[in-house]
A and B are shown apart, each in its own frame.
Chain A
Amino acid sequence: MTSSNWHFDTEKSLVESHGLKLDEFEKIVEGLGREPNLTELGIFSAMWNEHCSYKSSKYWLKKLPTSGERVIQGPGENAGVVDIDDGDVAVFKMESHNHPSFLEPYQGAATGVGGILRDVFTMGARPVANMNALRFGDPNHPKTKHLVSGVVGGIGGYGNCIGIPTVGGEVNFHPSYNGNILVNAMTVGIAKKDKIFYSAAAGIGNPVVYVGSKTGRDGIHGATMASAEFDDDSEEKKPTVQVGDPFTEKLLLEACLELMKEDAIIAIQDMGAAGLTSSSIEMASKGNVGIDINLSKVPMRAANMTAYELMLSESQERMLMVIQPKKEELARSIFKKWDLEFEVIGEVTDTKKLILHMDGEEQASIPINILVEDAPEYQRDYIVNDPSPLISFESKDFEDKDIISDLLKMISHPNLCSRKWIWEQYDHMVMADTVVRPGSDASVVRVHGTNKGIAISTDCSPTYCRHNPYEGGKHAVVETWRNIVASGAEPIAITDCMNFGNPEKPEIMGQFVECIRGMGDACSKLNYPVISGNVSLYNETNGEGIYPTPAIGGVGLIRDLSNTMTIDLKNEGNVLYLIGESDNHLGNSHYLSIIQNREDGGTPSINLDDELKNGKFILNCVAKKLLKSVHDVGEGGVLVAIAEMCISGKQGIKIDITKDFLHGFFFGEDQARYLVEVSQNKLEQLEIDASKSAVKIERIGEIGGTSISINSIGEVELSSIIDHHTKWFNEF
């Protein structure tokens, strides 16, 4: 295709097919002082789509707290960086791969993992853990099973092969995702504080180097596709999904880390969404320089590729670097050793323009600032709807309900049942540093060669967000914080993955604004800043948006791994306590949705002072070695949490409590609560400490036996509980 023979006033559809609005196109013409050619139009399309430009979200994201004592790099680089003492840093980020995963679940999920891994090792970190946050439609929807199998297969296929453990995650089902599943992948890496790599190009005349796989025609317009809604014809977009090769990524990882030991790399950027376009422009923009690229030099997988295709391909496992000219041969030899492409394709210039040549002809010439600083930014209209009203439930509404049979129904439901079927398909132990495996509140990996660990948790409750985006946003942050505390770690910082519907609809934008406000309040109060993240909008099919889903990935530090906590009950004779206030909040609970098929009653409100107080109390108890196991009380309430502790530890419990409203107590989802196991000789100390800290504690019962028995109600054998818990996925 050439650009010479067509005129844009007759080609509105071409502009629109590039996902650009006509006023955005006019802005391009104004900036360039002429009409763009096709390659340039493609470049603008790639840079100005929602996925790459954050044009609807940027204004609001700036309101989140992003700094703190431990923050070394906040949002804006390939991944965020936090200090974990002793000259070590943790590098992490979470990213969405929603649209591709719905179209082609295996490759969509696999390349989501590949992309986030590259973001982390680009910074100079060796990835040490993968996590994920997944949402699927109704368990009975005809597509759900296929999508779950494909996504789980793709995540495992990529992570297992490259040899980075997938240590945990979360999975939920809700009909709002029937036409638009969410696949959010997170990677945590470890680096040395003085060996972090950034993306700002520098040094006029320095070589721009392409490394990794060859470029093919796969994934062209992937980022643009991910910035649009789905409709009935979305299947046709399948060719925009990339194909992953974890083996090549493993080679790329090792080659990059080997080169990073040398003083050779000035800047490095992975080629992710919008491939060569966004990587070259990001590097030039950050360094306030220009870049010239000779596209004829780009290693190509297919014959006769055009400038347009080369710039927009999202072929995987590629990196762009600016290197020290003197180290070119050394760098080349390292990539040759790993059988990877290594090609000098351009140089850093002082023009502050991206200039492309191919076969001796200029293909594009665009000032970088037009692409980046002048990119559209919208303050979209928004409406904040009133939160769903709170309903106060009473004991008499539940008189005919049986607690034990309700418990069994709940723990066998897809949203609360065991995820073992999933995590057993992930290698969660490779690297031999996994300390807490999937299935606990947070997963823990050791920092290699030390006695400290990183605790990681991903979480979000979309139902809470749907019915009260402010409290839901707070909750998503707080839930990961609590999970990290429950593992015995000091929470440090989060990454976020903001999955929402069409931001051009004021009510969707209102959800976004309110979730951000809630997240910001929680992050500020808990000193738990946002250091990286990603926004995925237009998660809609045929005009129906998903539930607002601000998925959070939290990271914490355990200085001494002997203080690591898990949820499994340890010993007969120990006592289980509930920490925190209970107020029978059944609104929007799993109990209501699973047992009564209702979605109302309001989102529980979160008292951030209580969260902080109770969390600090738990960490103090951990430091004093008072606790044997800890579990945060989350989805499903107290009794589900107790059952999970029993299942995990293969221990029974005799619950001995007196309450007027047992259903409210056992299944209410009040916040800021934990269950803790304490040995008999530490009970007194726990009670003294709780009283000093003004923390409410309640004795729940004594551990032992082969069943969960509840005084005055009855009992159920652990073996039956385990059968119910594992049944759904085992029959999947």
Chain B
Amino acid sequence: MKTHVIVFPGSNCDRDVAVAIQNIIGSSPEMVWHKDSTINQSDLIVVPGGFSYGDYLRCGAMASTSPIMKSVIENANKGVPVMGICNGFQILIESGLLQGALMRNSSLSFICRDIIIKPTNTKTIFTNKSTISKMPIAHNEGNYFANSNQIKEIEDNDQIAFQYCDENGDINAHSNPNGSINNIAGVFNKSKNVLGMMPHPERAAESIHGCDDGRNIFESLLS
């Protein structure tokens, strides 16, 4: 599998996701500098977490205009799997590949801790091996919002990828860490080849992390 990880100034989970890809998918990804303009032939493009451009202006806003994003969008439109994690999710929203918005956490503070998510649609390339999974979140702006028309649209089209839930898989206010509407933790584009998610599967990818539930997302891509 030929994979690519985009590196923006301020990306800081680029190495972490590269290690997870190497360990799980079995080949090391090509790291692509944001000023490059083309990605040829990819089986997976990852837009990693971090603080691209220091989160200045608005999280993901400046990175979404980097030269490489044109190629990411072209590849996405051709059906290449594209995955945005945390700040990567914010960038994919800002670039228009995904719907909705990510607002400041309802607690108004940064949150770093384990949460539990439930796959809402397990018939996609990213989630065909997904079950209820524990993995960390680490963000200040992960409060997903979409207006009622958009919510209806993404629900009708099975575009919700993951929802925050409790240990029993119940989706309730208590298990919602950041105020996201309908506990949404991740969404797809219409054709389900673009995934954006706030939780970090690459930080729950080997036993040393205390939990390796994040592997199932990468393993899904292999099957």
Instruction: State the A residues within 8 Å of B (CB).
Output: 153, 156-157, 160-163, 245-248, 250-251, 338-339, 423-435, 437, 446, 561
Would B112 and A429 count as touching, CB distance under 8 A?
Answer: yes
Question: What chain B residues lie within 8 Å of A248 (beta carbons)?
Answer: 54
- Taking a contact as CB atoms closer than 8 A, the residue among A246, A425, A446, A561 that contacts B110 in the complex is A425
- Known contacts A160-B138, A424-B111, A427-B138; is A246 also within 8 Å of B54 by CB? yes
Question: What chain A residues lie within 8 Å of B200 (beta carbons)?
Answer: 429
**Smallest CB gap from A421: residue in B:** B109
Interface mask (B1-41 → A, CB under 8 Å = 1, otherwise 0): 00000000110110110011000000000000000000000
Interface mask (B36-75 → A, CB under 8 Å = 1, otherwise 0): 0000000000000111011110000000000000000000
- Taking a contact as CB atoms closer than 8 A, the residue among A161, A245, A432 that contacts B202 in the complex is A432
**Smallest CB gap from B14: residue in A:** A163
B174 on interface, CB distance cutoff 8 Å: no
- Known contacts A161-B51, A163-B12, A250-B10; is A435 also within 8 Å of B208 by CB? yes
- Expressed in whole angstroms, the Cα–Cα distance for A100 and B140 within the complex equals 25
Would A339 and B9 count as touching, CB distance under 8 A?
Answer: yes
Would A429 and B138 count as touching, CB distance under 8 A?
Answer: yes
Question: What chain A residues lie within 8 Å of B20 (beta carbons)?
Answer: 432
Would B138 and A430 count as touching, CB distance under 8 A?
Answer: yes
Would B109 and A425 count as touching, CB distance under 8 A?
Answer: yes
- Known contacts A251-B9, A427-B138, A432-B202; is A161 also within 8 Å of B16 by CB? no
- Taking a contact as CB atoms closer than 8 A, the residue among A157, A163, A429, A561 that contacts B203 in the complex is A429
Counting chain B CB atoms within 10 Å of each CB, which of A153, A160, A427 scores highest? A427
Counting chain B CB atoms within 10 Å of each CB, which of A157, A160, A246, A426 scores highest? A160
Question: What chain B residues lie within 8 Å of A162 (beta carbons)?
Answer: 12, 51
- Expressed in whole angstroms, the Cα–Cα distance for A431 and B200 within the complex equals 11
Would B54 and A430 count as touching, CB distance under 8 A?
Answer: no
A-B contact pairs, 15 of them (CB 8 A): A156-B110, A160-B140, A162-B12, A163-B13, A247-B10, A247-B53, A250-B9, A424-B113, A429-B138, A429-B200, A430-B13, A430-B203, A431-B16, A432-B19, A433-B208
**Smallest CB gap from A163: residue in B:** B12
Contacts beyond the supplied A250-B10, A429-B136, A432-B209: 11 A-B pairs with Cβ under 8 Å: A160-B110, A161-B12, A161-B54, A162-B51, A163-B51, A251-B9, A423-B112, A429-B112, A429-B200, A430-B138, A433-B208
Would B16 and A446 count as touching, CB distance under 8 A?
Answer: no
Would B112 and A432 count as touching, CB distance under 8 A?
Answer: no
- Expressed in whole angstroms, the Cα–Cα distance for A433 and B19 within the complex equals 11
Would A428 and B203 count as touching, CB distance under 8 A?
Answer: no
Interface residues of B in 205-223 (CB under 8 A from A): 205, 208-210
Question: What chain A residues lie within 8 Å of B9 (beta carbons)?
Answer: 247, 250-251, 338-339
Interface mask (B84-104 → A, CB under 8 Å = 1, otherwise 0): 000000000000000000000
Q: How far is the CB of B47 from chain A (nearest CB, A)?
A: 15
- Known contacts A161-B51, A246-B51, A339-B9; is A427 also within 8 Å of B208 by CB? no
- Known contacts A250-B10, A339-B9, A432-B205; is A427 also within 8 Å of B54 by CB? no
**Smallest CB gap from A249: residue in B:** B54
Question: What chain A residues lie within 8 Å of B55 (beta carbons)?
Answer: 161, 247
- Expressed in whole angstroms, the Cα–Cα distance for A161 and B209 within the complex equals 21
- Expressed in whole angstroms, the Cα–Cα distance for A430 and B208 within the complex equals 14
- Expressed in whole angstroms, the Cα–Cα distance for A160 and B49 within the complex equals 11
Q: How far is the CB of A408 from chain B (nearest CB, A)?
A: 24
Question: What chain A residues lie within 8 Å of B210 (beta carbons)?
Answer: 437
Q: How far is the CB of B20 from chain A (nearest CB, A)?
A: 8
Question: What chain B residues lie within 8 Å of A250 (beta carbons)?
Answer: 9-10, 12, 51, 54
Would A245 and B54 count as touching, CB distance under 8 A?
Answer: yes
- Expressed in whole angstroms, the Cα–Cα distance for A430 and B15 within the complex equals 10
Question: What chain A residues lie within 8 Å of B19 (beta carbons)?
Answer: 432
Interface mask (B176-214 → A, CB under 8 Å = 1, otherwise 0): 000000000000000000000000101101001110000
Question: What chain B residues lie within 8 Å of A435 (beta carbons)?
Answer: 208
Question: What chain B residues lie within 8 Å of A157 (beta carbons)?
Answer: 110
Would A432 and B16 count as touching, CB distance under 8 A?
Answer: yes
- Expressed in whole angstroms, the Cα–Cα distance for A245 and B10 within the complex equals 12
Q: How far is the CB of B177 from chain A (nearest CB, A)?
A: 10
Question: What chain B residues lie within 8 Å of A423 (beta carbons)?
Answer: 112
Q: How far is the CB of B59 from chain A (nearest CB, A)?
A: 11
- Expressed in whole angstroms, the Cα–Cα distance for A248 and B54 within the complex equals 8
- Expressed in whole angstroms, the Cα–Cα distance for A246 and B9 within the complex equals 12
- Expressed in whole angstroms, the Cα–Cα distance for A154 and B53 within the complex equals 18
- Expressed in whole angstroms, the Cα–Cα distance for A163 and B87 within the complex equals 12
Question: What chain A residues lie within 8 Å of B53 (beta carbons)?
Answer: 247
**Smallest CB gap from A446: residue in B:** B208
Q: How far is the CB of B107 from chain A (nearest CB, A)?
A: 9
Would A430 and B10 count as touching, CB distance under 8 A?
Answer: no
**Smallest CB gap from B53: residue in A:** A247
- Expressed in whole angstroms, the Cα–Cα distance for A247 and B208 within the complex equals 29
- Expressed in whole angstroms, the Cα–Cα distance for A161 and B110 within the complex equals 11
Q: How far is the CB of B218 from chain A (nearest CB, A)?
A: 13
Q: How far is the CB of B111 from chain A (nearest CB, A)?
A: 6
- Known contacts A429-B138, A561-B208; is A247 also within 8 Å of B112 by CB? no
- Taking a contact as CB atoms closer than 8 A, the residue among A153, A338, A427, A431 that contacts B112 in the complex is A427
Interface mask (B115-158 → A, CB under 8 Å = 1, otherwise 0): 00000000000000000000010101000000000000000000
Question: What chain B residues lie within 8 Å of A251 (beta carbons)?
Answer: 9-10
Question: What chain B residues lie within 8 Å of A561 (beta carbons)?
Answer: 208
**Smallest CB gap from B51: residue in A:** A161
- Expressed in whole angstroms, the Cα–Cα distance for A432 and B202 within the complex equals 7
Would A247 and B16 count as touching, CB distance under 8 A?
Answer: no
- Expressed in whole angstroms, the Cα–Cα distance for A637 and B120 within the complex equals 48
Question: What chain B residues lie within 8 Å of A339 (beta carbons)?
Answer: 9
Q: How far is the CB of A407 from chain B (nearest CB, A)?
A: 26
Question: What chain B residues lie within 8 Å of A338 (beta carbons)?
Answer: 9
Question: What chain B residues lie within 8 Å of A245 (beta carbons)?
Answer: 54
- Expressed in whole angstroms, the Cα–Cα distance for A150 and B179 within the complex equals 23
